Structure 1
């Protein structure tokens, strides 16, 4: 798997200043931040698809993303690597959980639990990623990285709970929220070994193609049981939303995110997940559909502080992730 040590740039002991990050690390941070901004912008497009078939629409999204990736590969004259059986397993798991599964699970989570419950669960993603990566690498993470991830989780919780949708107890709601959290973490944890072995473009293209196929199959099976439509002709605004989600929030986001994983490692890249609510709030503020509250601003500041602390902390020397 990807090495956080290679990306962390630890030079001896101690915490480093931001100016000490090398160009590779700075570009990794820029890529992760750009991906987060695009994800946040998706909140402006998603409402236009509320009346479109959910699973079939997600299948179209990933199908279009596959086409865009193939076109980009053609422009770049990219040669696709043929995965080994083990590498196919990583790609399949990424497609099934981090792509196809996450989108469907998130909808079910938001329909069975309060927004605060789902938001708090997703806000824990950076901490889960750091701990799981360290466990798999059999290395103790640095205090700075853990403290940063914990601060991100706390800041995200403050921002979410300040929106008025508190945490409500429901076994079903917590279960779906937990599955949504697993899907978010899978994007980074399963994507790291796949991109290390195949490269971001190859791994993303294969995973998007598989995700599209899995979603179409699921839509057909679900439609045969419920009698609901698998697909329908989208309206103009729905077509624009699907293209935006496929190109901006899938094709570009995954390439940028896995480019960041290559440069920063899975643990530090995962910290940027905490900035998604802030980016979403900014997008809603720009469109005039939401206004930031003091609690959201406080939570966003805590998240940003946690990201910076975690990036500077890195992890201990000798943590080779395989």
Structure 2
């Protein structure tokens, strides 16, 4: 299913009479779809890095991403604004959880459970985002927003079932998958407040630079204690995976995603995380790292339905930033 097809489905579902998504909302939906497609591909890329130094490899990834972001900022003649202390209270946790933490957890999660299961678990992020935002603002989320998020969560659980009806999970694999889910949700929850004042490029660059420093420090300390090297020369496959994660899944995804958050709001943009199961299953199939079962496809379809339902124009006010 192409991104254009998804957008047409969303637009048709959002039309009571002549009403449709606004131009700004359509562009936000397009940015979100592009971002989650790349995030889905990150599961397959992470599956190729099990034998590469974990902390050092992720530090290299985010260092490359920071350099690319700085080059992009220079081309656009972008001026970086020094964040205030209040803004740093969002950016520092974002760097720790959504950047450094998520990168490490994702690679480890794909080593202890099926990569497809990790990608599908990430589809439950919309429910987490909706519930956390409702609790933080002490407001009741719109019914269609909550219903769509529940569809996304149920679809993600349904997709864990195998073709024989058994559940493909383990305690260890589920724990790491849910930690990856927390990292994905934190990107939206922690990134939304500072980008309203600083912009997506500034917040992304600061978060990647801080995340890289955190990971490099952890890698050096771990190497000194265990005697293992923090880095080594990657193989061709490992270098390709790291390059994809640095360029597509970090530099491009963050800018696309925060552009979507600015246009749709955190809760509605977060619903698009539900498309990650489709993207991850497709990426695993194309790379030969896995195949999709009928249960996984059914769950992914329910996830898509939840996203479409939640974008009804009548619920825009309840989903605003």
TM-score normalized with structure 1 length: 0.86
For residue 152 of structure 1, what is the aligned residue in structure 2? 152
Q: Does the CA-based 8 Å contact 1:260-1:269 persist in structure 2?
A: yes
Deviation at 1:176, TM superposition (A): 4.0
* Consecutive unaligned residues in structure 1, runs of 5 or more: 1-14
The farther-off stretch of 311-320 and 29-38 is 311-320
CA distance in 1, matches of 2:281, 2:108: 22
Q: Does the CA-based 8 Å contact 1:219-1:230 persist in structure 2?
A: yes
Q: Does the CA-based 8 Å contact 1:90-1:193 persist in structure 2?
A: yes
Change (3 A) 1:282 1:175: closer
For residue 231 of structure 2, what is the aligned residue in structure 1? 231
Residue 29 (structure 1) aligned with residue 29 (structure 2): yes
Change (3 A) 1:86 1:134: same
CA distance in 1, matches of 2:175, 2:72: 38
For residue 244 of structure 1, what is the aligned residue in structure 2? 244
For residue 5 of structure 1, what is the aligned residue in structure 2? none
Deviation at 1:241, TM superposition (A): 2.2
CA distance in 2, matches of 1:174, 1:46: 17
Deviation at 1:227, TM superposition (A): 1.6
* Consecutive unaligned residues in structure 2, runs of 5 or more: 1-13
Change (3 A) 1:108 1:281: closer
CA distance in 2, matches of 1:184, 1:254: 11
Q: Does the CA-based 8 Å contact 2:21-2:313 persist in structure 1?
A: no
Structure-to-structure mapping, 1:66-215, within 5 angstroms: 66-110=66-110, 121-162=121-162, 166=167, 168=169, 170=171, 175-215=175-215
CA distance in 2, matches of 1:145, 1:320: 11
For residue 52 of structure 1, what is the aligned residue in structure 2? 52
Deviation at 1:238, TM superposition (A): 2.4
Aligned residues: 306
Cα deviations by residue, 1:37-58 (Å, 9 ceiling, x for unpaired): 1122234433332221111000
For residue 4 of structure 1, what is the aligned residue in structure 2? none
The farther-off stretch of 188-197 and 239-248 is 239-248
Cα deviations by residue, 1:86-112 (Å, 9 ceiling, x for unpaired): 111211110001110122233444556
Structure-to-structure mapping, 1:257-268, within 5 angstroms: 257-268=257-268
Q: Does the CA-based 8 Å contact 2:123-2:275 persist in structure 1?
A: no
Change (3 A) 1:167 1:295: closer
Q: Does the CA-based 8 Å contact 2:160-2:168 persist in structure 1?
A: no
For residue 253 of structure 1, what is the aligned residue in structure 2? 253
Cα deviations by residue, 1:178-222 (Å, 9 ceiling, x for unpaired): 433321211110010121121000000000000000000011111
SS in 2 for 1:132: helix
CA distance in 1, matches of 2:82, 2:253: 23
What is the RMSD computed on CA atoms of the aligned residues?
A: 2.5
TM-score normalized with structure 2 length: 0.86
